[in-house]
A and B are shown apart, each in its own frame.
Chain A
Amino acid sequence: MLSSRCWQGGDEMPEKALLRNAGVPHVERIDVYLARGGYQAVRKALLEYKPQEIIEMIKRSGLRGRGGAGFPTGLKWDFMPKDPNITKYLCINFDEGETGTFKDRYLVEEDPHQVLEGAIIAAYAVGARKAFMYTRGEFPLGMKRWIKAVAEAYGRGFLGKNILGTDFSLDVYVHRGAGAYICGEETALMESLEGKRGEPRLKPPFPTQVGLFGQPTLINNVETLACVPHIVLRGPEWFASIGTEESKGPKLFCVSGHVEKPGLYELPMGTTLREIIYEHAGGVWEGRKLKAVIPGGASTPMLTPEHLDVPMAFETLPKVGSMLGTGAVIVMDESTCIVNAVLHLARFFAHESCGKCAPCRVGTHTMLKILERVEAGEGRDGDIDLLLDICETMYGKTFCPLGDAATNPVTSSIKYFRDEYEYHIEHKRCMV
């Protein structure tokens, strides 16, 4: 189990929000959750605010999507048509597949009512009467606890018809994915929900115009929705007071790899990599030196010790050539073979490419095969340039961002560790 051993966030932030209930026994049960003040946000939102006021509140909070792209959440909510006669849906994206990321899993497994509360408020704000929970197939515990939480919420009148005596009604459906990373992409998720092959759709139209079953659909990440009750209860100003200029609020950072205390940390947006790794995660393990760090999950370009002081925020990481992504910090110490690490990531992307567009389908596979031979000491002169050539071909030109993501580990690792690749090719073995 992930929860007790890995989770480390208990003492790190004095005023915790998303991990407020961390460590509370059985908070996944509605009684415990209610005893800790649960569902106050739903009560407040539904009884005291009009839907549009909630949207304005979320806009003022500066909340940006936590699934990786960082799109302003309030703006997305506002894109939903206001006509009450149009059927609208809410999708909860719990297809957390980004390598190194385990925040949504924690949230749903340990504190599902918090997410559900956010979902109810979101559905209320945009006028959706049906919500679909798309669960990653590999999360049976999350699925189980979510289903139970939904049943409990129905029992207490937080779901179903006329919630809290208002004329707002909401039903929640649960769908289990079949194991495809691409289904975390919003339109592929909808294809999959509709029972089709999980492949991204053309955009535009965007889901807020034409989404699930052809209807306007709001889709939000689990962590994004988990932020919502706190914004409602503590006010958007509180949320906006945390973080940086363009990235507001608390963020869950998933620290994994070669650190003393891997785990999930709730910290303000803009916390530096150095603080995350050395102050919270206990530093690189066994007293070793840091070699590389991936700041936001497999699809974000890797960084090196010289970038440790960059704040972890949507606007700051691109300045050093990376991205915040999901905030999954993967730490690699000096003993890491970069070629081997990138090979693993390349294998992941080749395995997860949906096959729809040619450059991604063939490109990811070709990169994998080249990396395999370089790693195995069978690399050829020119292989590094060939890898860069394929990355150049794919980047920005594939159908969906998976193609871009697949190039990031390769280009960034060659940028910083080209000598390691060259050593592999020249000496037919690893230098570390």
Chain B
Amino acid sequence: MVEEITLLVDGREVKGRKGETILQVCQENGIDVPTLCHFERLSDIGSCRVCIVEIEERGRTRIDTSCTTPAAEGMVVRTNGEKLNAFRKAAIELLLSERNHFCMYCEMSGDCELQKLAYRFGIDHIRYPRFYPKLPVDSSRKYFIMDHNRCVLCRRCVRACEELVGNHTLGLRGRGFETMICADLNVPFGESSCVSCGTCLSVCPTGALVDRRSAYMGREVQVKRVKSTCLFCSVGCGTEIVVRDDYILRVEGDWDAEPNRGLLCAAGRFEPLYDETRARSLKPLVRRNGGLEEASWEEALDLVAEKLRGFDKKAIGALASTRATNETLQLFAELFKEMGVENLGCLEGPITEPPEKELSLADLDEADMFIVVGEDLAEDHQVAGFFVKRGVTNRGARLVVVDEEETGFVPLARRWLKPDEVEEAVHLCNAAAQPAVIYGARAGEELEVLRRELADRARFFWMAPGTNARGALAAGLGGPFDAEAARCVYILACDQGKISEELMAQLKEADFVAVQSSYVEPWAEVADVILPSVLWAEKEGSVTNLEGRTLKVARAVEPPGEVKGEGEILRAIRLGVRG
């Protein structure tokens, strides 16, 4: 039970909890204290001094930053006053005079926290001399740029990189007026240890960090934010898709969402918008005379239904990508099961049902030892990797990698063990109070050893393959797929582009292949019919993440062209098959 405390803020009696800062108490009680370097999810450092308040305690009055001062019983706090506001105004003016802050040319104008403060304190000119320092713009990063001219050195980016991501790429160089944000030992950002997760970008209060794609494309009042779930791995990060005029500007992490709490990785934040170069499938395509030609929906659906009716049930196979929603996967399984088709599977390969029905990634923040088995958290499930990274680099938790391959986490690890040395990991675990075993698809026998030896002591975290692996398992699609037996194959591909060569080769041998896909590639060569289907931001429904948590997927933009929803297509096929 947390002790409740009572404070007098601006003459009003307010309640808070022991351990909270004055700022937290004020915010919970609807008292607006201006801030700049403060960011809710980051530790407070009191560097901008804008949130200073007058504190009266035990007969003594002092001025201190509300973000760093713990609230105490009986404190008298004044958040407003001529002197305080004069100081705040001067402090903001000094910041504005420091570097090249010219709002009318700035991408963040309208959404900038520094600018808002300037308006709030009525700053219409700057009384201090300006320095016009010649500062660089670092555009060496692929997805966003760093403009030092707009930087106010609040260090939110540094703290985010360190505290939330555990990456410790960002830091500071120089001192006093020469202080600059830098990456690693002052290398260009693009050549640094940066993993492009974009967390720094999302916490920057000014136009110092700017997303390349959405720069100058719209201010907050002109955009729509749609809360959804990232579909690019099984962590199931909560996102906010930022849209203007049916065009996706960028994807941001949802700070209120579990399990990611605002974090995203490059694969979810940037890659879908920057790196996807495949052509959308906008109209149904049907193979005629050896080539794919545009066709009407009716014609394409009729052809698919006819083939599904015509082939022997044993010769029909159906594959679904785990990027589909729970609803789609259920419908998909129902459709083929009622047709009598038994050869069903996942496009990304078979999924082994884990013993853990539910787990919570938040528990990783408690672990004092991580054993990562058969999984490269630097490549896959990166946000889960951030939990591990921050545990290792900030809390001193130990990391042991058990893997045949040298994964991206090996440099962070205390030991890198080969699978046959797994006993050593068990031994190392003896010193840990809360060990966590994180295992991926490549984990084999060694995982069984760990399960046996650490059953009562360690928590196990399944890094589910694909995206909606639990949804696929629930729909009964986790089993092996017999590609050779399938002469007629129906594929619910979503936007999946990574298909094993083996499967592709087998599909080439099939008599008929129908693909329901957002993109033409990589299906142009093997498909007989391509049905244009919605993309991640056009879907609606839910997915179940690796924790077993059901997460909402919301439609942020309308599907283009003749693209139809996943369920809509499946229902049409069902009708066609039933005749």
Contact = CB atoms under 8 A, between A and B. Distances in A.
A, B: real partners: yes
B295 interface: no
A197 interface: yes
Interface string A197-211: 100001010000000
Interface in B266-312: none
Interface in B48-76: 48-49, 52, 63, 68, 70
A369 B48 CA distance: 21
A313 interface: no
Interface residues of B, number: 30
Contacts of B49: 357-359, 397-399
A134 B172 CA distance: 23
B175 A397 contact: no
A366 B97 contact: yes
A210 to B, nearest CB: 14
Given A361-B153, A397-B52, A366 B129 contact: yes
A361 B174 CA distance: 12
Contact of A390 (B128, B152, B153, B174): B128
Contact of B94 (A353, A355, A393): A393
Given A202-B46, A355-B178, A396-B63, A389 B98 contact: no
A289 B52 CA distance: 45
Given A202-B68, A366-B97, A355 B175 contact: yes
Interface string A165-198: 0000000000000001010000000000000010
Contact of A361 (B46, B127, B128, B176): B176
Contacts of A364: 176-177
A393 B176 contact: no
Contacts of A370: 129
B90 A393 contact: yes
A364 B176 CA distance: 8
Contacts of A390: 90, 94, 128
A382 to B, nearest CB: 9
Contacts of B171: 197
Contacts of A363: 94
A364 B172 CA distance: 19
B441 interface: no
B149 interface: no
A362 B94 contact: yes
B428 interface: no
Contact of B176 (A365, A392, A398): A365
Given A357-B46, A357-B48, A358-B152, A389 B90 contact: yes
Contact of B129 (A182, A352, A354, A369): A369
A350 B97 CA distance: 16
A299 to B, nearest CB: 16
Given A366-B128, A399-B46, A399-B47, A354 B95 contact: no
A82 interface: no
B153 A353 contact: no
A350 B177 contact: yes
A157 B37 CA distance: 52
Interface in A316-371: 350-359, 361-366, 369-370
A386 interface: yes
Contacts of B87: 392-393, 397
Given A352-B176, A370-B129, A358 B90 contact: no
A386 B176 contact: no
A389 B87 CA distance: 10
A353 B46 contact: no
Of the listed residues B95, B97, B129, B176, the one surrounded by the most CB atoms of chain A closer than 10 A to its CB is: B176
B174 A362 contact: no
Interface in B88-134: 90-91, 94-95, 97-98, 127-129, 131
B177 A361 contact: yes
Contact of B174 (A352, A355, A357): A355
A357 B47 contact: yes
B45 interface: yes
Interface in B165-198: 171-172, 174-179
A386 B45 contact: no
B47 A356 contact: yes
A358 B91 contact: yes
A355 B177 contact: yes
A416 to B, nearest CB: 25
Of the listed residues A180, A355, A364, the one surrounded by the most CB atoms of chain B closer than 10 A to its CB is: A355
Interface in B475-521: none
22 contacts: A182-B175, A197-B171, A351-B176, A354-B175, A355-B176, A355-B178, A358-B48, A359-B90, A359-B91, A359-B94, A365-B131, A366-B94, A366-B128, A386-B127, A386-B128, A390-B128, A393-B91, A393-B94, A397-B49, A397-B63, A399-B46, A399-B47
Given A358-B47, A366-B97, 9 more contacts: A202-B46, A352-B175, A354-B179, A359-B90, A362-B98, A362-B177, A386-B127, A392-B87, A397-B63
Interface pairs A-B: 7 shortest CB-CB: A355-B179, A353-B176, A365-B177, A393-B90, A362-B94, A362-B98, A355-B175
